[in-house]
Amino acid sequence: MNGAGNDFILLDNRQGFLSLDASSIAYLCDRHRGIGADGILLVEWADQEGLRMVYFNADGSRASFCGNGARCFARFALETEQQNVACGRLSFLTDCGKVEAWVDGERVKITMPSAKNLKIDLPISLNDRTLNGHIIDTGVPHVVLFGDYEKWPEAALQDLGSEIRWHNVFQPEGTNVNFVWKAGERTIKVRTYERGVEGETLACGSGVTASALISSVILGMDSPIEVFVRSGERLQVHFRRTEKGFEEVFLEGPAKKVFVGQIELP
């Protein structure tokens, strides 16, 4: 499945028989030797709590949340658990807590984890420059940078993204990095370097959300904010600003099936 170009291998583990180690996950996500994906979603049962989403990055590391992955998970869950779902609405557990989702065909809207650790204008000293980054955690940590990044070569974005991702300020877990520029009164464009993938992806749901929330602070944008990602697809971030930060944050966008198949692990 893919959410705005952010692609995932979704495995149904409701019977609990599947066990994957980091090397198996990396093999499955390898675009040359495996299926190829930005990450893996496991569908599991959480005892009496219902369905649980477990997410792994392409390098085999477990992540606490994935926004586009959660939207793909919601569509799959709705279509496979129809007897438990009414009116296109469902909820499921993640490592960041419960997520509510609304599914209308390929359009899926979810609640996002409470945004935290907001820091504006944090100086980031690099090898050849110092940048002011804006920090926020939208389920996973993100840095947001504003600038003329639309025409940057992929290699240049890769180098800068990697340098910030591994910067000692953000260790030990590291950070995702979003390169943002304004495209309209309530519209931004975003390119995201994702940790775990260790490169630029076509979209990142938590990064889109982080970029939109920071844009409301830095650029004065009101909800909803429309966000275009590298794939050319459009997502929307809905939120309510408060004195303490943000409440009622939602991410909305496409979630599509690509194919169903089988693969043998080595």
pLDDT tens across 194-204, in order?
A: 999 999 999 99
Task: Give 119's Cβ-side CA count (13 Å radius).
Answer: 14
Instruction: Write out the chain in H/E/C secondary structure.
Output: CEECCEEEEEEECCCCCCCCCHHHHHHHHCCCCCCCCCEEEEEEECHHHCEEEEEEECCCCEECCCHHHHHHHHHHHHHHCHHHCECCEEEEEECCEEEEEEEECCEEEEECCCCEEEEEEEEEECCCCEEEEEEEECCCEEEEEECCCCCCCHHHHHHHHHHHHCCHHHCCCCCEEEEEEEEECCEEEEEEEECCCCEEECCCHHHHHHHHHHHHHHCCCCCCEEEECCCCCEEEEEEEEECCEEEEEEEEEECECCCCCCCCCC
What mean pLDDT, rounded, does the chain reach?
95
> φ, ψ for residue 221 (rounded to 5)?
-80, 145
Range of the domain at 99: 2-111
The whole-number pLDDT of residue 128 equals 86
Q: Does residue 261 sit within a domain?
A: no
Are residue 82 and residue 158 in the same domain, yes or no? no
Question: What is residue 48's predicted lDDT score, i.e. its pLDDT?
Answer: 75
The fraction of the chain above a pLDDT of 70, given in percent, is 97
Q: Is residue 196 part of a domain?
A: yes
Sorting pLDDT into bands at 50, 70 and 90, what band is 11?
very high
Answer yes or no: is pLDDT of 84 > 60. no
Binding residues: 6, 57, 67-68, 176, 194-195, 205-206
Q: Is 265 within a domain?
A: no
Q: Among the three residues 78, 96, 111, which one is the final residue of a domain in this structure?
A: 111
Do residues 170 and 225 both lie within one domain? yes
Whether residue 153 sits in one domain with residue 91: no
Same domain, 121 and 248: yes
Instruction: Report the pLDDT value the prediction gives residue 85, as an integer from 0 to 100.
Output: 60
> Percentage of the chain with pLDDT > 90?
90
Which two three-digit tokens encode residue 163? 């340098």
Q: pLDDT tier at 46 (50, 70, 90 boundaries)?
A: confident
Instruction: Indicate whether 27 pLDDT > 90.
Output: yes
The mean-pLDDT minimum among 42-51, 147-156, 234-243 falls in 42-51
- Which structure tokens are listed for 101? 């989702």
For residue 82, pLDDT beyond 80: no
Of 111, 135, 166, the residue at which a domain comes to its end is 111
Residue 266, in any domain of the structure: no
Residues 121 and 246 in one domain: yes
CA–CA separation, 201 and 99 (whole Å): 23
Res. 44: pLDDT tops 90? yes
Are 246 and 133 in a shared domain? Answer: yes
What's the CATH number where 244 sits? 3.10.310.10
Please measure the distance between the N-terminal and C-terminal CA atoms of the chain and give it in whole angstroms.
Answer: 23
Vertex 241 angle, CA 236 and 242, to 5°:
160
Closest of 204, 119, 118, 121 to residue 161, by C-alpha: 204
CA distance 193 to 131: 16
Residues 75 and 186 reside in one and the same domain: no
248, 124: one domain = yes
- Same domain, yes or no: 8 and 129: no
34 token code pair: 């495996």
Res 129 pLDDT > 80: yes
Q: Which residue type is seen at 180?
A: V
Give the mean model confidence (pLDDT) for residues 38-66: 93
**Residue 134 and residue 155 in one domain:** yes
Is residue 264 in a domain? no
Domain-terminating residue out of 86, 111, 136: 111
What's the structural domain count of the chain? Answer: 2
Question: Does 204 reside within a domain?
Answer: yes
Residue list, annotated binding site for substrate: 6, 57, 67-68, 176, 194-195, 205-206
How far apart CA 171 and CA 46 sit, in angstroms, is: 31
Active site residues: 66, 204
Q: Give the mean pLDDT of 239-261.
A: 95
The residue-averaged pLDDT of 41-60 equals: 92
pLDDT one-digit tens code per residue, 159-210: 999 999 999 999 999 999 999 999 999 999 999 999 999 999 999 999 999 9
Residue 41 located in a structural domain: yes
In this structure, the answer to whether residues 229 and 140 fall within a common structural domain is: yes
User: Is residue 164 a contact partner of residue 170, using CB atoms and an 8 Å limit?
Assistant: yes
- Indicate whether 122 and 241 sit together in one domain: yes
- 228 domain residue, yes or no: yes
